[in-house]
Every structure is written in C-alpha cells, then in structure tokens.
Amino acid sequence: MKFVDEFREPEVITKTAEEIRRLADPDRHYRIMEVCGGHTHAIYRFGLKDLLSSNIELIHGPGCPVCVLPMGRIDDGLSIAQDPNVIFAAFGDMMRVPGTTGSPLEHKARGMDVRIVYSPSDALKLAKNNPDRHVMFFAIGFETTAPSTALTLVRAKEWGLHNFSVFCNHVTIIPAIRAILDSPDMRIDAFIGPGHVSTVIGCRPYEWIAKNEHKPVAVSGFEPLDILQSIVMVLRQLKAEQAMIENQYKRVVPWEGNSAALRAIAEVFELRPYFEWRGLGFISQSALRIKESYAEWDAEKRFVVPGVRVTDPKAAQCGEVLKGVLKPHQCKLFGRECTPEHPIGALMVSSEGSCAAYFNYEHRKTEMVTSISSMA
C-alpha cells in the first residue's frame, strides 16, 4: 500500500536505527517528547523503543484530547443530558471516559439517551431526523477536528436547525507545549511534532520553539520510518547545536497549513480566556469557544451548566504521566486497579492514551516474557 509499505520496510528501518545509534552521543542522555498520542501508540505498537540507544528517552506528551479533558467537563456535559429530551452524541473514544458518577456508557446503561457518532455531521443528521428532541454533540479534539465541528455549526445555522447544539471542548496545541516548557520539573531536548494537528495549522506555529527555546522540532508522520526519521532529524540538529523546525511529514503537512480549515475555525470559534487541562491546570487562551454569532447552537449558553471542578482520584497519577514526569507503569494504579477493561484515568481509556498504549503492547509483552521464562 502506497505511503504505508515503504514506511515499514525492515531493511530501511534497520539502517535508520543504525543512523540513530551513530548520531547519539554515548555520553549524553536525550529526552525527546512525542507530542501526539498517535505517535505514542505507534512507538509501542511497532516496538520502536527497542531499536533506540538506551540513552534516548522518549517522553509522552499531552497530545491526546480525551486524556487532557478534566473530569468536570465530562460531568458538565452529562448534566445537560439528564434532560430526557436531550440526546447526548459523542465519538466512541469518549464513551468510557469516567466522570464522577460514571462514564457516558454507564449513563446509557442507566437509561440516558447516549449515541455514538462518527462525525459532527452525523450528530446534525440525528437532530434533523429527531425534530422533537434536542441533540447535543460533545465536541472534543485539537485543531485536527475543530474544522469539522465548525462546518457542522455553519450548516446548522444555514438549515435553521434549532434542536442541535455543541458542547465545545476543542483545545489548541501550542499553549500546551508552552506550558510543558515552562514547567520547572521538565527537561526536553527536542520535540517530535504532531502530524495530525499540523495538517491544519502547518509548521510555522512551532517556530518560536526553535527561536526562543532553542529546541529542535520535527513534524512527523505515524509509520515506523516516519518516527525514526524524525528522531534522526532532531539528533542531527542537536549534534550540530542547531534548532529549527523540520517537516518530515511533507507528503501530508503543508508548511502554511490548510487555509480552508483555518478559515472555518476562525468563522465559528474564538479563544477562551482560560481552560483547565488535566495534569497541566488552567492555561490561558488554550481552548476554543463558540462565537456569539453562533450562540444559539452553543450548549453552554442554551443550558445551565454547573461548571464542575473535580480532581482525579488521589491514587491516580494521570497528571504526572501527561506531563512526562512519570512513565505509565510508574503510576501506582497501572495494571492493577486501572486497566483498559476497568479504567480509572482517561489515559487508560483512549486508544491514543499513553497508559493504554503501554498496557496493550509493552506491559503485555513483559507479562508474556515473564510467563515464558517461568515455564522454562
């Protein structure tokens, strides 16, 4: 398959891994953050960590929108859906994310009308087909998914569809990276930039990281060679004592971004003054809200929202894992009380969550090796 098979070619992967080992200074410890949860998933799925030198440490970043959503926002959205006339619509990866009184799926089991949709337009069609009910779409995602929500709101306004609204939880990636760099307990040498977000915003928004923070960034795709080539790029920069933005994912990511998608976002959304992130706290201008011109379709303006603030369970260490301070297996609940079947934290729910990725690939691999060793 074009753009897949050639990025999984074993011989080229081996040569690239050898290049990484050649570039890495054995007397130096490298901390490279992959911002996107999709990269974390790929790293564990393809066993890329095993190909790297022991002095190259990959840090898992906050680029999983489900994972960074605080529990209170889930409670707020579900509070609206307590109304029997409201249909709660959301993507499938939201269904098992726990709120204080259970996940959307658990609320569905108790009788709440909760529907899985594959796009915001599916939720809009649901509203059109159920004129006597109100459909609230629980929108979530970085700039990657914001354009589709924006275009859905434009269509709702054009159609004059008044039984539809959006509970907006779209966040932006740049303030999150800034918050990580400002964190006193973090040391990052370079970044593997998010591929999906960059298809919308392009590469230019990362230039301040190189210019002001002197950190190399390589925007990367999601196949094994994409990620390994991106590591080569940042190691070459570090070796030459340079800091610049490189676009490894040129086959998909335009340097200036997607102008049509950016126009759609600008038409419908504006920045919130503050928004709370799980693990990172309140970050100014880090999320989107619906403009006044689309207020009729803004669930937070149409309904009374409690504005709940809830801390994660004390034993769960989602915040530390999100910031890269801890590895998933270092959390006290990992693999015991918290598993994909019975998640306590959002990082174990989402397919892009670092805990779920670690559990499904690295943790099970370790368990299998241990089991085989005990049988020998």
How far is it, in rounded angstroms, from Cα 269 to Cα 37?
Answer: 24
User: Which amino acid type is present at position 349?
Assistant: V
Total Cβ atoms within 10 A of residue 278:
22
Give me the tens of pLDDT residue by residue for the chain, a chain 376 residues long: 566 777 888 999 999 999 999 999 999 999 999 999 899 989 989 999 899 989 999 998 887 888 888 889 999 999 999 999 999 999 998 998 888 888 999 999 999 999 999 999 999 999 999 999 999 999 999 999 999 999 999 999 999 999 999 999 999 999 999 988 988 878 899 999 999 999 999 999 999 999 999 999 999 999 999 999 999 999 999 999 999 999 999 999 999 999 999 999 999 999 999 999 887 889 999 999 999 999 999 999 999 998 877 776 667 777 778 777 788 888 888 888 888 877 777 788 776 788 888 888 876 555 433 443 444 4
How far is it, in rounded angstroms, from Cα 235 to Cα 53?
Answer: 12
In this structure, are residues 189 and 293 in contact, taking their beta carbons and an 8 Å threshold?
no
Identify the pLDDT of residue 355.
Answer: 84
Q: Assign 117 to helix, strand or coil.
A: coil
Identify the pLDDT of residue 375.
Answer: 41
How far is it, in rounded angstroms, from Cα 323 to Cα 216?
Answer: 19
Q: All domains of the chain, ordered by start, with CATH?
A: 1-368 (3.40.50.11740)
Give this prediction's pTM: 0.89
Largest CA distance in the chain: 69
How far is it, in rounded angstroms, from Cα 281 to Cα 292?
Answer: 26
- 81 token code pair: 């859906």
